[in-house]
Chains A and B, each alone.
Chain A
C-alpha cells in the first residue's frame, strides 16, 4: 500500500512538472491563460497539457496490455509489441488513413476501429498458429510473433509506398510513434478504449494470477480459461488498437514497465496492476519530455526514445535468463 501511494505521488509529480519542459520556457502565470489566445497560453493549454495526458494514457495502456500478455503467455518477452499485435493495429490504422475510410461509428475515428480490428486479427492469428501443434511453446510463440511482425511491417511499407507524398510522410511520422498531436481530441479518442480495458483487466486480477501459474492450475481452481482468453484478447486488442491508432506503435513500454514492477512489487496482479498503470504513464510522459527537449526546437519521435532505452533492456532480459519460460523452475 505504501509503495502504491509513493508511485501515485511520483506519477502526480510527473504529470504536474513535465508540461513545463519544452522548447519554449513558460512562466507560471500561463496557468490563468486557459481561455486566452496568448502564445504561451496556447502552448501550455492546447499543446503541452493534452500531450502530457495523451502520453500518460498511452503509456498506462501499453504497460497494462504488456502485463496482461506477459501473464497470459508466461513470458516477459511476450508483449503486444514484440508479438506483432501493435503492427497489426498499425496496419489496420494505416489502411484506414490510406483508403480515407470515414468514421463508421460516431465518436470513434476509423483509424481506431481499424486499429482494433488489426490488433484483434493479429491476436487471433497468433493464438491459432501457436495452438495448431497442441499447446504453445515459448520459442514457437516468439518466432511466430517475429514472423508476424516482419510480415505486417512489409505490409505497412507497401501501404506507405503506394500512398501520396503527403500521406506517406504522415504515415511515416505516425509509424515512428509519438504523442505530439495538438489538442484534446487524441486524448478523447483513446480514453474509452483505455478505460474499458483498464476496468476489465482490473476485475480480472485474481484470474490473471492463476493464468500466470499455468492453464491447468487455473482451470482446476475455478477459472473459465477459455472465456478468460477470449476476454483478454478482446481487451488487449481494444487497448492496443485505440492507442496505436493515435500514437503509432510505441515499443518496449509494455516490456520494461511490467517486468520491472514485478521485480519490485511481486507477482500479485491486484497489487501490480495499479503500479504498472501509473509507472507506464510516467515512463512514456518522461520519454516524451526527453523527446521534445533533447534536440529542441526540433523533436524526436517518442518511439525512438523508448526504443533506445528498451532495446538494451530487452537484451538484458535475454542475457540474464529472465526471458526463459520458468526462470527458476525445475
Chain B
C-alpha cells in the first residue's frame, strides 16, 4: 500500500489572520512524500492554525499552500481528503457510531459509485482496525471508549483514509505513558511501512524516531527556526528563546542518543 507517485507539500510565505490579528506570518516549508515535519512552539503560537490552513479549514490571507504544486484552494474537499488525513487534538465526538462505523466514514473520499461503501472499503476498514489493535472494540460505541482508545480510533480512521500525508495535532496529549508510546510507535510504523509523510504538532522534543524529519519552530506565528530535528541539540538557545525556558542536553550512555530537557527553575532553585 505504498503511494505510487511522489507527492509534495509546500508552504510559501503563509500569512493567516483572524480579524485584525495575525496568527501566522511568513511561514514557509516544503516536504515530499516520505519526509516528515515536526511543528513545535509554545501554546498559541499558531501550530494548530498551520495544520488548519494546510487543510483549507482556514483560508490564507497571503502566501501559497501547494499540494503537488496545486494551490490548496483549487482542490476539492474530496481531492484533499485523498492527500491528507487529519487527527485533531480534540476530535469531534461521534454520537452513536460504533468504532467500525466511525472508521468506515474515513473511506468517504474513496467510496464507490452511487456513494456506497464497497466491500473493499469494509476490508480496508477492518485492516485499519487490525493495524491499530482496535478490532476487539469494533462494535463498541465510540462514546464509551477511554481517551487512549478514542485516539487509536482516530488513528485507525486516518489509516483507513489511505493518504500519503498524515497531519497530527498533538496526538499523544492527554494520554498516559503506555498510550503515548503505543500511538507514537504506530505513527512511526506507518511512516516506515507506507512511506507516509507525517506533519506533527508536538510538545515532545525527544521523539526518538522520525528519522530525517524537519522541524519548524513557531513563536507568535513567525518562524523562529526551520531545520532538521538532528540540529536541535545545537539549538538550545533557540529553544530557550522559543519557550522562555532554559533547556539542557542530556547524552544517553550509548553516546548516540540525546535528550533535550527543560531546566526546572523555580522558588526551589535550579534543576533537580
Within 8 A of A (CB), among B52-107: 55, 57, 76-78, 80-82, 84-86, 88, 91-98, 101-102, 105-106
> How many chain-A residues does the 8 Å CB contact rule pick out?
31
- Looking at A204, A222, A223, A267, the one whose CB has the most chain B CB atoms below 10 A away is A222
Q: Are the CB atoms of B88 and A216 closer together than 8 Å?
A: yes
Q: Does B108 contact A (CB under 8 A)?
A: yes
Q: Are the CB atoms of A222 and B109 closer together than 8 Å?
A: yes
Chain A min CB distance to B59 (Å): 12
With a cutoff of 8 Å between Cβ atoms, the chain A residues found around residue B95 in the complex are 74, 212-213, 267, 326-329
With a cutoff of 8 Å between Cβ atoms, the chain A residues found around residue B80 in the complex are 220, 222
Our pick among B57, B101, B111, B143 for the contact of A326 (Cβ within 8 Å) is: B143
Our pick among A221, A326, A327 for the contact of B109 (Cβ within 8 Å) is: A221
Q: Are the CB atoms of A267 and B81 closer together than 8 Å?
A: no
Q: How far is the CA of A328 from the CA of B96 in the complex (A)?
A: 9
Q: How far is the CA of A166 from the CA of B91 in the complex (A)?
A: 57
Residue ID in chain B nearest A223 by CB atoms: B77
With a cutoff of 8 Å between Cβ atoms, the chain A residues found around residue B92 in the complex are 213-217
With a cutoff of 8 Å between Cβ atoms, the chain A residues found around residue B147 in the complex are 330
Q: Does A210 contact B (CB under 8 A)?
A: yes
Q: How far is the CA of A209 from the CA of B111 in the complex (A)?
A: 14
Supposing A206-B108, A206-B117, A328-B144 touch, asked if A220 and B96 sit within 8 A by C-beta, the answer is no
Q: Type the 1/0 row for B179-202, where 1 means its CB is closer than 8 Å to any CB of A.
A: 000000000000000000000000
A-B pairs, 9 with minimum CB distance: A214-B92, A222-B109, A222-B81, A267-B96, A328-B143, A329-B93, A220-B86, A213-B94, A222-B78
Supposing A213-B94, A220-B85, A220-B86 touch, asked if A267 and B101 sit within 8 A by C-beta, the answer is yes
Chain B min CB distance to A23 (Å): 43
Q: Does B141 contact A (CB under 8 A)?
A: yes
With a cutoff of 8 Å between Cβ atoms, the chain A residues found around residue B102 in the complex are 213
> How many chain-B residues does the 8 Å CB contact rule pick out?
36
With a cutoff of 8 Å between Cβ atoms, the chain A residues found around residue B106 in the complex are 221
Residue ID in chain A nearest B87 by CB atoms: A220
Supposing A212-B95, A213-B94, A267-B101 touch, asked if A221 and B108 sit within 8 A by C-beta, the answer is yes
Residue ID in chain B nearest A205 by CB atoms: B115
Chain A min CB distance to B24 (Å): 19
Within 8 A of B (CB), among A197-228: 203-207, 209-210, 212-217, 219-225
Q: Does B116 contact A (CB under 8 A)?
A: yes
Chain B min CB distance to A66 (Å): 16
With a cutoff of 8 Å between Cβ atoms, the chain B residues found around residue A266 in the complex are 96, 98, 101
Q: Are the CB atoms of B81 and A220 closer together than 8 Å?
A: yes
Q: How far is the CA of A210 from the CA of B94 in the complex (A)?
A: 9
Q: Does B161 contact A (CB under 8 A)?
A: yes
A-B contact pairs, 27 of them (CB 8 A): A74-B95, A206-B108, A206-B115, A207-B108, A209-B101, A212-B94, A212-B95, A213-B92, A213-B93, A213-B102, A214-B94, A217-B92, A220-B57, A220-B84, A220-B86, A221-B106, A221-B109, A221-B161, A222-B82, A224-B76, A266-B101, A267-B95, A268-B101, A327-B143, A328-B144, A329-B93, A329-B143
Supposing A203-B115, A206-B111 touch, asked if A220 and B76 sit within 8 A by C-beta, the answer is no
Q: Are the CB atoms of A221 and B143 closer together than 8 Å?
A: no
The dominant DSSP class at the B interface is mixed
Q: Are the CB atoms of A210 and B105 closer together than 8 Å?
A: yes
Q: Does A262 contact B (CB under 8 A)?
A: yes
Our pick among B76, B97, B105 for the contact of A221 (Cβ within 8 Å) is: B105
Q: How far is the CA of A212 from the CA of B102 in the complex (A)?
A: 11
Supposing A203-B115, A212-B95 touch, asked if A219 and B108 sit within 8 A by C-beta, the answer is no
Q: How far is the CA of A307 from the CA of B117 in the complex (A)?
A: 38
Residue ID in chain B nearest A220 by CB atoms: B86
Chain A min CB distance to B105 (Å): 5
Chain A min CB distance to B263 (Å): 34
With a cutoff of 8 Å between Cβ atoms, the chain B residues found around residue A267 in the complex are 94-97, 101
With a cutoff of 8 Å between Cβ atoms, the chain A residues found around residue B96 in the complex are 262, 266-267, 327
Q: Are the CB atoms of B77 and A210 closer together than 8 Å?
A: no
Q: Are the CB atoms of B91 and A217 closer together than 8 Å?
A: yes
Q: Type the 1/0 row for B108-126, where 1 means its CB is closer than 8 Å to any CB of A.
A: 1101001111000000000
Chain B min CB distance to A290 (Å): 31
Q: How far is the CA of A225 from the CA of B81 in the complex (A)?
A: 13
Q: Does A292 contact B (CB under 8 A)?
A: no
Q: Does A98 contact B (CB under 8 A)?
A: no
Q: How far is the CA of A149 from the CA of B264 in the complex (A)?
A: 59
With a cutoff of 8 Å between Cβ atoms, the chain A residues found around residue B108 in the complex are 206-207, 210, 221-223
